[in-house]
Amino acid sequence: MRDLTGNVAWITGAGSGIGESAALKLAEAGAVVVLSGRRRDLLEGVAKQVQAAGGNATVEALDVADKQAVLAVVGRIKARHGRIDIGVFSAGVNVTERNWSNVSTDGWDQVIGIDLDGVFYCCHGVVPLMREQGGGVIINVSSMAGKAVSPLTGPAYGAAKHALNAMTASLLIEERNNGIRATAICPGEVATPILDSRPVKVSDEDKARMLQAEDVGDLIRYVAQLPTHVTLNEILITPTWNRFAAR
Q: Is 157 a catalytic residue?
A: yes
Residue pair 111/89 in contact (Cβ under 8 Å)? The answer is no
Whole-number Cα distances in Å, 18 to 91, 128, 170, 204? 9, 26, 24, 18
Residue pair 214/165 in contact (Cβ under 8 Å)? The answer is no
Alpha-carbon dihedral sign for residues 102, 159, 15, 199: positive
Q: What's the rounded Cα separation, in Å, for the pair 199 and 171?
A: 34
Bridging pattern class, strands 86-89 and 8-12: parallel
User: Which residues are 104's β-sheet partners?
Assistant: none
Residue pair 32/56 in contact (Cβ under 8 Å)? The answer is yes
Q: How many CA atoms within 13 Å lie on the side-chain side of 54?
A: 4
User: Which of 218, 128, 139, 129 shows the shortest CA–CA distance to 172?
Assistant: 139
Q: What's the rounded Cα separation, in Å, for the pair 38 and 119?
A: 14
**Which residue is catalytic, options 42, 115, 157, 213?**
157
What are the residue numbers of the active site?
157
